[in-house]
Amino acid sequence: MLVLGIDTSCDDTGVGVVELHPDGSVSVRSNRVWSQTVHANYGGVMPELASREHVERIDAVMGDALAEAGVSVEQLGAVAATSGPGLVGALLVGLMYGKGLSQGLKIPFHATHHLEGHIYAAASEAELQPPYLALVVSGGHTHLFDVRAEGQYELVGATRDDAAGEAFDKVARLSGLGYPGGPAIAEAAKLGDPKAVPFKVPLAGQKGYEFSFSGLKTAALLAHRAGAKPEDLAASFQAVAVKSLVKTSVRAANDLGRNTLVVSGGVAANQALREAFLQTGLRVLFPGKGLNTDNGAMIALAGAAAIRAGRGEHGLGDGATAYAP
Ligand code: KG4
Ligand code: ZN
């Protein structure tokens, strides 16, 4: 069965096609993303502009995704679209487009939670079988879930303030490294000394599994004002952010007896983070190429998993409420 996935939760128009094989395995047939650049002059995403651009682009991105997969729209067997969380006007574009398609084609529709999509992005690389722990690290989230069974997510920890990606973006901005900050910090860090700025690991000694990045952001601003080189600031910030994410996740995995850990979301593209997680001794799964940041294929992968598990057709609310902590 071919499953179409759509994500228009923020500033990327993503459409992908995934094939669910009779033996339950899945393969990504296509993944097309249009990343909006209209926000560059505003210092952040302008919701109204994002919605309008999704409306203008979604047909073309859909056409590209079908062409890349080599399928026609009539061959689709199900549609999945992100129902939340995200910018409401932006979400509505993909959601209504997907619902319209499913009704026109008379095929099932699966409203999908954006974070479930990020988690299932790792299913592009390996069979994803619960139980496992999942760390979603993106521009909007730093959430650690215990996944005991398919479709059951227990939030065991999250950030108290900024998301990890948000902190990468802000530190890049204050040190003049540009936007998006994650890739800019990673690039600059290669030329810097990770010990140059003595950042402290946030919440060291805590018993829970929370994260915090706002203190690091302030410390980075002070170091910048005191004359730290952008490369040193980038290397030192990246090192402490990675250490915090790895330490807390590994402690949670050990305490909960999980030996598989999914690390996904935009920040999971970070090479230093990947290397540190691969040294933990846990079985660590990451999304495949192009599936870390927001995209449609990850939503199709989550939809395919729901179909495989017999979760049936979801209504508009199901996906959005599945994670209420
Ligand atoms: O998942 P995503 O596309 O959007 C959200 O749902 O938030 O994540 C975007 C975030 C941005 O904050 C971006 O700076 C960060 O992921 N990011 C990275 C890297 N690539 C993207 N952070 C660290 N290192 C990277 N290589
Ligand atoms: Zn995302």
Give, using CA atoms, the residue closest to atom 3 of ligand 1.
293
Confidence of residue 2 (pLDDT cuts 50, 70, 90): very high
293 lines ligand 1 (CB under 6 A): yes
Alpha-carbon distance values, 196 to 72, 203, 244, 289 (Å):
55, 21, 18, 32
CA of 106 to the centre of ligand 1 (A): 36
Give, using CA atoms, the residue closest to atom 7 of ligand 1.
139
Place of tokens 């006007």: 89
Ligand nearest to the CA of 242: 1
Nearest to 228 by CA among 287, 263, 176, 184: 176
d(CA 256, CA 142): 19
What domains are there in the chain, each with its CATH number?
Answer: 2-125+290-321 (3.30.420.40), 132-285 (3.30.420.40)
Q: How many CA atoms lie within 13 A of 26 on its CB side?
A: 30
Q: How many CA atoms lie within 13 A of 162 on its CB side?
A: 17
Asked if 150 and 134 touch (Cβ cutoff 8 Å), the reply is no
Asked if 80 and 3 touch (Cβ cutoff 8 Å), the reply is yes
94 lines ligand 1 (CB under 6 A): no
Query: Global pTM?
Result: 0.94
Atom of ligand 1 nearest to the CA of 172: 14
Report pLDDT digits (tens) over 196-220: 999 999 999 999 999 999 999 999 9
CA of 294 to the centre of ligand 2 (A): 5
290 lines ligand 1 (CB under 6 A): no
86 lines ligand 1 (CB under 6 A): no
Q: What is the DSSP secondary structure assignment for residue 40, as one 8-state letter?
A: G
Report pLDDT digits (tens) over 244-303: 999 999 999 999 999 999 999 999 999 999 999 999 999 999 999 999 999 999 999 999
How many other CB atoms sit within 10 Å of the CB of residue 278? 12
Report pLDDT digits (tens) over 10-61: 999 999 999 999 999 999 999 999 999 888 788 778 999 999 999 999 999 9
